[in-house]
Amino acid sequence: MEDMAKIAFGFYTLIILSGSLLAVGAKSLVRAMVGLIATLLGVAGMYMLLNAQFLALMQILIYVGAVCVLIFFAIMLTRADSGGEEAESAPLRQNLLALTAVLSVGGILGWLVMTRPLVTTGVPVEVAIEKLGLGLLGPYGLAFELISVVLLVSMAGAVLLAWERRNGK
Amino acid sequence: MSALTLYQLVALILLMAGLFGISQRRSLVGMLISVELMLNGAGLSIVAASQLTPANAMMGQLGTLFVMGLAAAEATLVLAIIVVVARRFGTTKTSVVSTLKG
C-alpha cells in the first residue's frame, strides 16, 4: 500500500474501532446509534480504499440514510429514553460469558486469517458501474429479483404487523 | 502482512463487536444495532476478498449489495416486531419479553 493509503486505512480503522465500541457499550441507545453511524461511515471509507466507489455510496445511502433512520424510529416508538433500557449494566457473569464467546470465535477466525495467506493482487481491481448493472440484469438477474421480492414481502409484513386495528371493527 | 489480511482483521473486529453486543445487550433495539455491525463486517470481508484476489470482483460487489438489501429488509421487519412487542409488553427489555403464547 502507498503511504497515503496506509494513513487513510489507519484513520478508518480508528473510526470503526471507536464507533463499534460506542455502539456496543453506550448506555443510551441514541448514542449507540451514533456509534453505529460512525462505524458505517468508516466502512464506507474502507470501500473507497478498496476501489469500490459505488458500494461506498450505496453504503451511505442505504445504511446511514435508511437503516439508521429505521433504528431511530424504533428507539423513538418504544420510548427508550436516554437513561432508559440499557441504564443498568449487564451482570458481570453475563459480560464474562459474552467476552469468552467473542474471544473464542475471534481467536479461531483471526488465527485462520493470519496463518493462511491468500494470493493477493497488490492493487484492488476496478469494476465499472456498467458491468455491475449488466451483471444484475444478466447472470445475477434471479438473485436481483429475489431480493426485490424479499424487500416487498418484508415491507408488507411490517405494515401488517404494526397495523393498529380500531376498536369495534 | 498483506493488505487483504488487514481488511479481514477489521471485518473480524466488526464481527466481534456485534457478537459481544448481541449477547450482552438487554433491549431489542440494542441487539438490532449489533446485528447491523455484524452484517457490515460480512460485507467488508466479501468486498476485500473479491477486490484484492484474482476472484471475480463483480460478483463480490454484487454480493455485498445483496447483503445490504437483506439488511434493509431485516431492519424493517425487526422494527415492526419491536413495535408490536412494545405495544403488548410496554417494554422491549429481553428479560421481560420471555413469555410464549399460552
Q: Tell me the Cα Rg of chain A.
A: 21
Q: Looking at the predicted structure, is the pLDDT value of residue B101 above 90?
A: no
Express as a percent the part of chain B with pLDDT over 70: 98
Spatial CB neighbours of B81, under 8 Å, sequence gap ≥ 6:
A161, B28
What's the burial of A164, exposed, middle or buried (CB within 10 Å: 0-12/13-18/19+)? Answer: exposed
> What residue of A is the nearest CA neighbor of B3?
A1
Domain boundary among A52, A86, A120: A86
Alpha carbon distances (Å) from A111 to A89, A114, A120, B38: 31, 5, 18, 19
> What residue of A is the nearest CA neighbor of B21?
A24
- Chain A within 8 Å of B67 (Cβ-Cβ)? no
In a domain, A113, yes or no: no
Domain count, chain A: 2
In a domain, A61, yes or no: yes
In a domain, A143, yes or no: yes
In a domain, A82, yes or no: yes
- Chain A within 8 Å of B38 (Cβ-Cβ)? no
Q: State the Cα torsion A98-A99-A105-A108 to the nearest 10°.
A: -160
Q: Kindly list the residues from chain B whose CB atom is less than 8 angstroms away from the CB atom of residue A101.
A: 19-20, 23
The domain spanning residue A18 has which CATH number?
1.20.120.1200
Spatial CB neighbours of A11, under 8 Å, sequence gap ≥ 6:
A45
* 3-state DSSP assignment of residue A44: helix
A75 and A6 belong to one structural domain: yes
In a domain, A116, yes or no: no
How far is the C-alpha of A146 from the C-alpha of A153, rounded, in Å? 10
A11 and A71 belong to one structural domain: yes
B27/A50 touch (CB, cutoff 8 Å), yes or no: no
Of B33, B27, B68, which is closest to residue A59 (Cα–Cα)? B68
In a domain, A91, yes or no: no
A159/B80 touch (CB, cutoff 8 Å), yes or no: yes
Q: How many CA atoms lie within 13 A of B55 on its CB side?
A: 18
Query: A146 is in which domain, residue-wise?
Result: 128-169
> What residue of B is the nearest CA neighbor of A26?
B30
Mean pLDDT within B40-50: 93
pLDDT tens profile B21-35: 998 888 888 899 999
Alpha carbon distances (Å) from A42 to B24, B27, B72: 24, 25, 19
B92/A78 touch (CB, cutoff 8 Å), yes or no: yes
Q: Tell me the Cα Rg of chain B.
A: 17
Q: Kindly list the residues from chain A whose CB atom is less than 8 angstroms away from the CB atom of residue B5.
A: 113-114, 117
Residue A85 pLDDT: 57
> What residue of B is the nearest CA neighbor of A120?
B53
Q: What is the pLDDT along chain A (169 residues), one digit of tens a residue?
A: 678 888 999 999 999 999 999 999 888 888 999 999 999 999 999 999 998 899 999 999 999 998 999 898 888 888 655 455 565 666 788 888 889 999 999 999 999 988 887 788 778 888 888 988 998 898 999 999 999 999 999 999 999 888 876 665 4
In a domain, A104, yes or no: no
How far is the C-alpha of A13 from the C-alpha of A133, rounded, in Å? 30
Alpha carbon distances (Å) from B67 to A1, A29, B34, B47: 28, 24, 15, 11
How far is the C-alpha of A120 from the C-alpha of A151, rounded, in Å? 35
Are B19 and A123 a contacting pair, CB within 8 Å? Answer: no
Phi and psi (nearest 5°) for A84?
-70, -110
Residue A169 pLDDT: 47
A75 and A135 belong to one structural domain: no
Q: Which grid cell is A73?
A: 424510529
pLDDT tens profile B47-96: 999 988 888 888 999 999 999 999 999 999 999 988 888 888 877 787 77
Could you tell me how many CB contacts below 8 A there are between chain A and chain B? 237
In a domain, A159, yes or no: yes
Residue B28 pLDDT: 87
ipTM score of the complex? 0.90
Residue A76 pLDDT: 86
Ordered by where they begin, the domains of chain B are 3-89 (1.10.287.3510)
Q: Sign of torsion, CA A144 A150 A154 A157? A: positive
